[in-house]
Each structure stands twice: as structure tokens, then as C-alpha cells.
Amino acid sequence: MIEKQNIHSDANDGLDNLFRNALGSHQMEPSGGLWKGISRKLLWTELAHFNFSNLPRAFWIGTASAFLIGMIFLVSQIPDGKVTENSYSPAIPGQNYISSSSAFISNSNHSASPVKHHPENTSSTSSTSTNTATYASLIPSNLPLSVNTGTSRTANDPVILASTGSGRNLYDLVYMYHISSGNLFPNTAEDTMLRFITQNSILNVPKTKRETPQFLTLNLGISPEVSVYRGEDLYSTTNYWLNASMTYHAGRFSISTGFDLGYIFDRGNYRVNYKSKDSIGFFTSIVSFIVNPDNTVVYTTKDIPVYDSLQHIADDKGNNRYTYLQIPLLLGFEVIETNHLSLGIKAGPALSFLIGTKKAVPFVDYPNARLILVEDNTMQRVKTNWEFQVGLDLEYRLSKNFSVYAQPYYKHYFKPFIQQEGASAKDPYSIGLGIGTRFNFGLKKTKP
């Protein structure tokens, strides 16, 4: 251990003090951007060592509350994808077509100009109907609904389901229809239009059996990520992945796989052997002399440095680039979906293969040096590695078939990147953000 000693005292105090006094309190103004660099590195260090358990309880309560409120808001914004919302313009101006909410089935489609729909308070109404016992049995008892029991109905007449409650009856009907998976009116044809009517609006619902939407998407994107190496020396590197994958969607679930091409950067260690001519000592050369009258001789001397070619060894570092091919297999679940936005989670394993290495040339910058040998002491990277990836999938639909996505993710590797026996390195991890475009094939969704 180095221990500080008292200021040295010897015959050279004069020279030493000259430098010590002048330079002891010497200052140099750092460059303007230096603090930014420190601040950025501090941030990375903090992120790398971030411990969620250190967060205050208020943070967790606040985050949970915000998440809950956000979820409620998003869910409240979800429209029913199968419902076409139309306004009701009275066929004959001034005539009250139907004065309360009801639903009926027609064998022909109807349309009207689209405006916003407002549910209203409703009261009971009466119309023709048929097979009411069957329909009545399908209506949950807790819904304020009753089935009209009209007596005569021809094949072309609409079937009327009338509501007797108030407020949300119309939406209850629509909801009931959907939870029935299209079986609410089993005796009607597939192309039958179910029409829900209130005093000033109409909802047209095509009667089709509710199918689980199945389709494929092609995803192309790029993922910058930060990999944290957790060995004796903790450090991080910024890497880039090119992503190409196909995803098969079945309802809210999906499975995706493809190819990711990764450019991973890591340190390279080199030992450089070089020779340089260095001063190895001095000799004192007499330049001239004067013999004084008293026979004393005064010499004028000069120190001449002696040089020799010395061999040196220096350690140098470079920035190597490794190319990995990664095959992920991710399972996804869509949590929230609105007209334009959807949010899901994705998780699954991935297998990566080292397919290329590009080593940096060590920087040798020693004056008058002659390079003898450069030894590559870089540790071997692993050829294959398993990792587990989990992340979010936020999609914004630009059109029926085209969308953009952002996928923040966390990736945990199951073994260190470096092949080193007895290494104490912990498993590395990466945090990244995938961004890209998604093309939907055969998406059976209403165009937003």
C-alpha cells in the first residue's frame, strides 16, 4: 500500500520546491463537454445497477395508480370492431320512426349517413316478432330486456327484440349479441342484418358467426440495444440488430419467429511488441576548457544522451465487431386494442449464432517505434448462446394492412459472451428498443 510521506528533504529541495510551489496548485480548465460525458456515464452506470427494490413505496403506488387509470381509459375507448355505427335520419322528416330502442332483424342491409351515436333512455315498444321463446331464453336475466311477443311475422318482416329498461339497453343488446358468438338468432341466414334502433340512431350489425381472426404479419425493423457485461469489469456496449420476422395471429394470441442479424461490439485486447530508440543514459562530454593563470583548469561540459534500441511491450485495446444471427420464438398476447393502437406483451427464447468477427487493428502510436509483433489476447466469444426475451409490443395502425411498431425489451443471456474457464462473470443482459414496420396479410379487421 502506498503511504504518503513527508515532503522530501535533500539537496534538491530548491529545484523540487520550484516546481512544487509553482505547479502544486496549478489548474487547467476542462473542456465544456466533459461534464456531459460524465453525466451520461453516470446515467448508464445507474441504469446498469438499478435496483427496483430501492424505489420508494410512493413510486409503486403512483405507478400502479397511473397504470390502472390508463387501463381503464384505454378499455373505455375500445369500440366494437364488428359494429357499424350509423345515424338515423328519419325516412320521412318529422315522423317518429320508432320512439324507443329496439332491435330487429332484416334480410336486407341498410345504410345511413355516419354520425356519432348517443345512447338514450328507452322505454318499451311493441312490434312483430317470432320464435320469441328461443330468443328469450338467450337473454340473460340480469339484462333489462324483454322479447316482444307479436303474433304475425312473415319471412321478410324484421324480428324485434324490444327493451324495457333504460339507459344502456342498446349497448346491452349489442353486447349480448356478441357474447352469443352469433348464435342469438340461429334460424336466420348468415347475411342477415341485425339492426339496433334508438330514437335517433341505428346500429347495423351483420349477423355472422364470430370467428377468431387469423392472419399473418411481416415485421421489418431495427433494434438498438445496450448490452451490459457483468464481469470483473462492468461495462456496456451499444449494439444494433436488424429484424425480419413473421407473426401468426390467432385472436389475441400470436407466435412469431424469423431472423435477426446483430452487430455486437466488444473490447479487443492486444499486446504490442515494439522497439524504439530510447535514451538509456548520459555521458559528460568536454566541449572546451580554459587553463587559468593559476594553473586551474575550467572545463565546459555537456551531457550527451546515449540512445539504444529497446524492446517494449504495451497493451492496447480495440473495438471488435461480432456478427450474430439470432432466431427468436416469441409468444405474444394482445392486451389492449383500439382503432389505431394495440398493446401486447411478447416473450420467448432465442438462439443466437456467431457468424462473423471483424477485429479492430490495434492503435499503435509510439514515436519512432518499430512494430515487431501484435498478439491478440482477446477472449474468444461464445459461438452460440441462449437468451430469454420479454417485452412490450406497441402497434400503431396507419391503414388496414400497414402499421408501425415499437418494442421495448429486456433480454437475458444464459451464459457470458466470453469463453473463459473459471471466469466469475455473471450472465449479461441487454435492454433495447425495436422499431419498425408491419404488414398485415389477410387482416380481418374493420379498417379504422
Partner 1 sequence: MIVDESILEGCIAGRREAQYQLYQKFASTMLAVCFRYARNRDEAEDFLQEGFLKVFQNLPSFRKEGSFEGWMKRIMINHSLNEVKKNRKIPFHEDIGEINETQILENDEFADKMDPIESDVLLEMIRSLPEGYRVVFSLYVMEDYSHKDIAEALNISENTSKTQLLKARRLLKNKVVDYHKTRVIPHYQ
* CB closer to partner 1, 2 vs 373: 2
HSE value, Cβ hemisphere, 13 Å, CA-based, for 273: 7
In angstroms, give the least distance from the CB of 343 to partner 1.
32
In angstroms, give the least distance from the CB of 447 to partner 1.
48
Cα 138–chain centre separation: 44
In angstroms, give the least distance from the CB of 27 to partner 1.
4
Cell for 17? 520546491
Using the rule CB under 8 A, is 11 a contact of partner 1?
yes
Alpha-carbon distance of 448 to 440, in angstroms, equals 14
- Give kind and range of the element (H or E) at residue 175: helix 169-179
Using the rule CB under 8 A, is 303 a contact of partner 1?
yes
**Sheet arrangement for strand 159-163:** 84-87, 201-206, 193-197, 102-106, 159-163, 145-147
Alpha-carbon distance of 209 to 181, in angstroms, equals 6
Near partner 1 by CB under 8 A: residue from 72, 115, 310, 371: 310
Using the rule CB under 8 A, is 246 a contact of partner 1?
no
Alpha-carbon distance of 251 to 242, in angstroms, equals 27
**Residues in 145-204 that interact with partner 1 by CB under 8 A:** none
Candidates 21-29, 329-337, 371-379, 423-431: pick the segment binding partner 1 (CB under 8 A): 21-29
Candidates 16-24, 104-112, 193-201, 426-434: pick the segment binding partner 1 (CB under 8 A): 16-24
In angstroms, give the least distance from the CB of 278 to partner 1.
5
* CB closer to partner 1, 259 vs 282: 282
* CB closer to partner 1, 17 vs 187: 17
Cell for 279? 535514451
SS3 for 64?
helix
Using the rule CB under 8 A, is 278 a contact of partner 1?
yes
* CB closer to partner 1, 27 vs 108: 27
- Find out whether 239 and 224 touch, Cβ atoms under 8 Å: yes
Using the rule CB under 8 A, is 25 a contact of partner 1?
yes
The residue count for binding partner 1 (CB under 8 A) is: 53
Using the rule CB under 8 A, is 373 a contact of partner 1?
no
Candidates 40-48, 121-129, 158-166, 438-446: pick the segment binding partner 1 (CB under 8 A): 40-48
* CB closer to partner 1, 114 vs 281: 281
Alpha-carbon distance of 229 to 236, in angstroms, equals 6
Near partner 1 by CB under 8 A: residue from 69, 71, 179, 314: 314
Closest CA to 106 of 221, 195, 226, 224: 195
What b/e string do you get for 40-70 counting C-beta neighbours within 10 Å, with b at 16 or more?
A: eeeeeeeebeeeeeeeeeeeeeeeeeeeeee
Using the rule CB under 8 A, is 2 a contact of partner 1?
yes
Interior angle at CA 433, CA 427 and CA 438, nearest 5? 130
Residues engaged in binding partner 1 (CB under 8 A) = 1-8, 10-20, 22-31, 34-35, 37-39, 41-42, 45-46, 276, 278-282, 303, 310, 312-317, 366
